[in-house]
Structure 1
Amino acid sequence: MDDAAVLKRRGYIMGINLGEGSYAKVKSAFSERLKFNVAVKIIDRKKAPTDFLEKFLPREIEILAMLNHRSIVKTYEIFETSDGKVYIIMELGVQGDLLEFIKTRGALHEDDARKKFRQLSSAIKYCHDLDVVHRDLKCENLLLDKDFNIKLSDFGFSKRCLRDDSGRLTLSKTFCGSAAYAAPEVLQGIPYQPKVYDIWSLGVILYIMVCGSMPYDDSNIKKMLRIQKEHRVNFPRSKHLTGECKDLIYRMLQPDVNRRLHIDEILSHCWVQPKARGLSSAAINKEGESSRSTESPWTPDPISDKKSPTKLEPREEAGPKTSPEEESVEVSRQSETLGFNGERVASEPEEGAPQPPQQPSETHS
């Protein structure tokens, strides 16, 4: 039977196509039982790679079945047919994803960003408390419900963290995610703490929320890594961000994994708290003072129409326009994809490729 017939027998009337890949697609459908529209992720085992079928799909199904949080997309049903197709029935993000929202409306005001970021951070705390890590946090994976509340989705790279005999979390060696949102330790191929990796991605997401642009230019991974490791973060002057907001972003985009904020510290940060506002300059200076640089390492890249960032497909072994002053946002330049045994990895642009223009900005360093 085709997908429509399979879904019809389960009580779903198939609707439009929401997305499609080489071995999976997402459709909308109306649930006759629930009386509202849902999203249906359909995975064809016959077309999927072995690594995905043996490792990532079982993890995703196990984790989806255990999660229950108001800011995480609900999973209503999972079933499989005899011809090897897996159907995952999920909550539908009726207002689209955060990336499209920012492309359409521009950077969020801090009050709106605070609300959405608090929802996202609450979802991540829920996951981390269960020793579940997402490992692919990005704006495309943050859906919006009818009231524009955040719904975290796509747990395809998620996993349950293991602990050693002393109770400490073990390091992860699977390098996955999107280069534009990936922490420097992941880009370098260093075994990493997966919860700490999620925090870096949260920092990138908050930056995009309030600036409407990417914090780093991922068209040159080597240069991007150097800037990240020097702990330099540029903020467009036109956005007039508060010191508390910049301080939180700066502490999440901390290259030293031992100093990067934990999720509880994020939720208790004065910018995230709805009432406890007002961070002294001394508190900011303790970590890093907001200052103007004589030379900006990079101007934040406007969000371009290219949907997906450079992907760091999972692999087990470590491996080696527009001014920011403008309010119009298009999605980020998320650049090179090079083959590595059929997998895509981050890369540098060809020699002589044009670099982003230097524009005035503020630098947190």
Structure 2
Amino acid sequence: MDDAAILKRRGYIMGINLGEGSYAKVKSAYSERLKFNVAVKIIDRKKAPTDFLEKFLPREIEILALLNHHSIVKTYEIFEISDGKVYIVMELGVQGDLLEFIKTRGALQEDDARKKFHQLSSAIKYCHDLDVVHRDLKCENLLLDKDFNIKLSDFGFSKRCLRDDSGRLALSKTFCGSAAYAAPEVLQGIPYQPKVYDIWSLGVILYIMVCGSMPYDDSNIKKMLRIQKEHRVDFPRSKHLTGECKDLIYRMLQPDVNRRLHIDEILSHCWVQTKSQVLSSAAINKEGESSQGPEPPWAPEPGSDKMSTTKLEPQEEARPKAQPETSPEEEPLQVQVSRQSEAAGIASEQPSTETEEGPPRQPPTLPPSPAIQEQPSTAACLSPLREQAHSEHHWPLGATGPALLFLAKATRLCHGSYVLFRLCAHSEQPRVDL
């Protein structure tokens, strides 16, 4: 039985293809029960790698069933059929993703960036309070609803943090995510605090929001890492960013993990708490800097306009390769760095000296030429999908069909044990059937 027939039996009328990878794809669909459009991830367990089958999908499904937050993409139903396919029915990002939004419209004004960043930060706080870490935060994974509100998606690399007997968080040692958004400790292969890793990625995202470009050029990982460890953050003078905004970014992009901001400190930062206000032209002096307060120490030298010239492009993520089965004590440190062309706070939680899977080990030497993990990016599918959306009118998604772009990464999913759950008719909390 094909996918359309299977979905039809469960009350979904399948629409266009939104993305496809080696063992997973994303389809649009209309839910006859919910009376609106959804996105459906379809994963073929027969084609998926073993490590994804055994580790990543079970984690993702557990976390999707747990999360319920207004700034996180909703999951309505997950089911598996006898031939080994898993179907995940999720909220559709009708306005695309943040990367495409910024590439099309340019950098955001601070008021708009503040609103979207607060939505994202509140979602991360919700996750961190549950000891859930995302580990793949990037603009492609931030979908936009009909009102352009942020919806955090793609929990394929997420996990529940482990704690030792004293309650301290254990360290992670598997590289996840994209190099352009990865913290220096992750790029170095050092066992890392996963919550603190998420904070660095938030800093990169906010920089992209307000500057319209990447903060670091990752075409040379060694050079990028050196700049990051020197705590160098260059801002374009042409954007006229407020000192408070630059201060927040600077503190999130702190290479010292013990000084990087905690999520609660981010939400209480003066820039995030500022009421909406537009920086007037009168507040800009002739040198192009805000006249409010002293020049921040990380600003470019007078007369310069130094910043990363890396283009804003979709980022591929490093996918952990399948490893032979080992005991937790024998499991090696995994570091795969994929090449992507794109005042201090004290963390409240001290990490355990043990990692998730065993004691810390010496990090491997950073490779001079990181291997590129070839995976189809979502954005690469956008142009033909938009054309297809405009040309196909027979599917029941209405006039908004061309804009219905659920941009979850279909190539990062795995399979294993599964949970069935769906949204109850009169409740926002999913009903879980084991």
1:152-171 per-residue CA deviation (whole Å, 9 max, x = no partner) reads 00000000000011100000
Three-state SS of the structure 2 residue aligned to 1:191 is: coil
The answer as to whether partners of 2:199 and 2:252 remain within 8 angstroms in 1 is: yes
Give the equivalent residue in structure 2 for 1:303: 312
Tell me if the contact between 2:175 and 2:335 (Cα under 8 Å) persists in the aligned partners: no
- Aligned counterpart, 2:133: 133
**Once the 2 structures are TM-superposed, how far is the Cα of residue 298 of structure 1 from its aligned partner?**
5.5
Residue 319 of structure 2 corresponds to 313
Larger Rg: 2
Q: Is the 8 A contact 1:171 1:194 kept in 2?
A: yes
- The residue number in structure 2 matching 1:78 is 78
Tell me: CA distance 1:76–1:240, structure 2 relative to 1, closer, same or farther (3 Å).
same
Alpha-carbon offset, residue 88 of structure 1: 0.3
Letter in 1 for 2:68: N
State how far apart, in whole Å, the 2-side matches of 1:176 and 1:237 are: 33
Instruction: Letter of the 1:299 partner, please give it.
Output: S
Q: Residue 289 of structure 1: CA displacement?
A: 4.6
Instruction: Please give the alpha-carbon distance, in whole angstroms, between the structure 2 residues aligned to 1:49 and 1:272.
Output: 41
* Residue 223 (structure 1) aligned with residue 223 (structure 2): yes
Match of 1:27 in 2: 27
The alignment partner of 2:87 has SS state of: strand
Deviations 1:265-321 (A, max 9, x none): 000000001339999857x86xx55342898886332324xx3x242223652449x
What's the counterpart of residue 194 of structure 1? 194
Separation of aligned partners in 2, 1:160 and 1:218? 29
Query: What residue number does 2:207 align with?
Result: 207
In 2, Cα distance between the equivalents of 1:52 and 1:77? Answer: 20
In the superposition, relative to structure 1, how do residues 142 and 319 fare at CA in structure 2: closer, same or farther (>3 Å)?
closer
Change (3 A) 1:41 1:158: same
Match of 2:29, SS state, is strand
Query: Residues 187 and 87 from structure 1, CA distance in 2 versus in 1: closer, same or farther, beyond 3 angstroms?
Result: same
Q: Secondary structure at the match of 1:233?
A: coil
Query: Deviation at 1:264?
Result: 0.2
Tell me, in whole angstroms, the C-alpha distance in 2 between the residues paired with 1:96 and 1:233: 29
Does residue 341 of structure 2 align to residue 333 of structure 1? yes
CA 1:230–1:58 in structure 2 vs 1: closer, same or farther (change >3 Å)? same
The amino acid across from 1:182 in the alignment is A
Alignment-derived partner of residue 292 in structure 1: 301
Provide the C-alpha distance between the structure 2 equivalents of 1:276 and 1:165, rounded to a whole number of angstroms.
45
CA distance in 1, matches of 2:154, 2:305: 35
What CA distance in whole angstroms lies between the structure 2 residues aligned with 1:23 and 1:100?
Answer: 25
* 3-state secondary structure, aligned to 1:53: helix
Q: What is the TM-score of this pair, normalised by structure 1?
A: 0.84
Give the Cα separation in 2 of the matches to 1:193 and 1:300: 30
RMSD over aligned CA atoms reads 2.4
CA contact (8 A) 1:30 1:37 kept: yes
* Cα distance between partner residues in 2 of 1:300 and 1:281: 28
- CA shift, 1:28, in A, is 0.5
**TM-score (norm. length: structure 2):** 0.71
Equivalent position amino acid for 2:4 in 1:
A
- Whole-Å Cα distance in 1 between the matches of residues 240 and 59 of structure 2? 42
Amino acid at match of 2:142: L
Match of 2:399 in 1: none
The letter for the 1-side match of 2:82 is S
Q: Where does 1:32-71 land on structure 2 (aligned, <5 Å)? A: 32-71=32-71
Structure 1 segments (4+ residues) deviating >6 Å = 276-280, 293-297
Is the CA contact 2:99–2:140 (under 8 Å) kept in the aligned structure 1? yes
Instruction: Kindly indicate whether the alpha-carbon contact (under 8 Å) linking 1:313 and 1:344 is maintained by their aligned counterparts in 2.
Output: no
AA matched with 1:258: N
Q: Using CA pairs below 8 Å that are at least 6 residues apart, which structure has the higher relative contact order?
A: 2
2:234–2:298 Cα contact (<8 Å) kept = no
- 2:174 counterpart SS class: coil
What is the SS of the residue equivalent to 1:69?
Answer: coil
Q: Deviations over 1:66-85 (max 9, x none)?
A: 10000000000000000000
Give the Cα separation in 1 of the matches to 2:130 and 2:5.
37
Mark the CA change 1:84 to 1:293 in structure 2 (over 3 Å): closer, same or farther: farther
1:115: which partner in 2?
115
Q: SS where residue 234 of structure 1 aligns?
A: coil
| CA distance in 2: counterparts of 1:39 and 1:270, whole angstroms | 37
Q: Secondary structure at the match of 1:177?
A: coil
* Distance in 2, Cα, partners of 1:92 & 1:274: 31
The answer as to whether partners of 1:180 and 1:310 remain within 8 angstroms in 2 is: no
Tell me the SS of whatever aligns to 1:224.
Answer: helix
Relative distance call for 1:207 and 1:147 in structure 2 (3 A) is same
Greater strand proportion: 1
Gaps of 5+ in 1: 321-331, 346-365
CA distance in structure 2 between the aligned counterparts of 1:183 and 1:262, rounded to whole angstroms? 14
Matched to 1:70, the amino acid is H
Match of 1:165? Answer: 165
Q: Deviations over 1:251-273 (max 9, x none)?
A: 00000000000000000000001
- Quote the offset at 1:338 in angstroms: 1.7
Following superposition, the deviation at residue 60 of structure 1 comes to 0.1
- Give me the whole-angstrom Cα distance separating, in 2, the residues matched to 1:110 and 1:92: 26
Asked whether the 8 Å contact 1:207–1:249 carries over to 2, the reply is yes
- Equivalent AA in structure 1 for residue 181 of structure 2: Y
2:266 is the counterpart of 1:260? no
- Asked whether the 8 Å contact 1:215–1:234 carries over to 2, the reply is yes
Write the letter of the residue equivalent to 2:15. G
Residue by residue over 1:319-352, the C-alpha shift from the partner in whole angstroms, topping out at 9 and shown as x without a partner, is: 49xxxxxxxxxxx824x8626xxx679xxxxxxx
